[in-house]
């Protein structure tokens, strides 16, 4: 008996695909056989990733837009065939103590991490339901969707909300054979997190909580994405895949 990780013939959409985790996941899905549509605001970045995938013999195309423009996202997806796989990855953070959080900070974090993610999932799920062939929705969450941390009150709020949203959506879409799960990384070394680790005290504190003793890499995430996208996880829905190096084990 062998697990089936083959994604040949399936169409995947990845948001925030121009860099970091999104780029890694897009490349991994393509390597497993999927045709991947990369969605992001930066044309230069996603065109580069598309070119890389094509050069490696994969299938990919670009969708240039800002996912916070929910109506544009909806109209642009209406022009395309429904997707089999959706990796709802676009996200951001502005770490700050609550007393220093501004309304602009709140609107930015909640607007992208929650509002845009919810309505992007709604749009993609509608297409999956109408097509009637099932699918997999993977919401990129965080270990911070299961714990708390100083200077991350709004980020935690957005990711705890995504966890609840994903479980509810799994219940709603289960009868349509659409699976909904989350991936919950610890700190991954990406362009977004790089500035945090310029603070040696923060780096030391972080490594002290990761039981494996190192920061996560994008490579640590992509296997979970392929698993959740494929038939290898055909009985997995409403679940959170923790990739936190043991942070939440205590």
Q: Which residues are catalytic?
A: 155, 159
How many Å separate Cα 55 from the centre of its chain?
24
Beta bridge partners of 15: 39
Q: In which order are the strands placed within the sheet that holds 240-243?
A: 59-64, 35-40, 11-15, 85-88, 135-140, 178-185, 240-243
CB 132 within 8 A of CB 173: no
How many Å separate Cα 19 from the centre of its chain?
12
Residues 6+ apart with CB under 8 A from 246: 210, 211, 212
């Amino acid at each position: 008996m062998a697990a089936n990780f083959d994604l040949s013939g399936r169409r995947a959409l990845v948001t925030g695909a121009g860099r970091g985790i999104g780029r890694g996941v897009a490349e991994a899905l393509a390597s497993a056989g999927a045709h991947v549509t990369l969605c992001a605001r930066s044309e230069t970045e996603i065109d580069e990733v598309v070119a890389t995938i094509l050069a490696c013999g994969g299938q990919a195309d670009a969708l240039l837009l800002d996912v916070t423009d929910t109506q544009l996202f909806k109209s642009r997806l209406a022009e395309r065939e429904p997707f089999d796989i959706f990796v709802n990855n676009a996200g951001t953070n502005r770490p700050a103590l609550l007393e220093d959080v501004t309304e602009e900070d709140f609107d930015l974090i909640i607007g992208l991490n929650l509002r845009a993610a919810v309505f992007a999932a709604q749009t993609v799920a509608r297409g999956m339901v109408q097509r009637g062939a099932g699918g997999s929705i993977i919401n990129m969450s965080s270990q911070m969707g299961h714990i708390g941390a100083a200077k991350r009150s709004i980020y935690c709020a957005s990711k705890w909300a995504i966890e609840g949203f994903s479980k509810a959506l799994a219940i709603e879409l289960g009868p349509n054979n659409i699976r909904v799960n989350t991936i919950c990384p610890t700190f991954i070394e990406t362009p977004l997190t790089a500035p945090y680790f310029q603070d040696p005290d923060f780096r030391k504190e972080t490594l002290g909580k990761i039981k494996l003793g190192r920061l996560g890499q994008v490579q640590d995430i992509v296997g979970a994405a392929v698993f959740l996208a494929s038939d290898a996880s055909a009985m997995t829905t409403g679940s959170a895949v923790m990739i936190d190096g043991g942070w939440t084990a205590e």
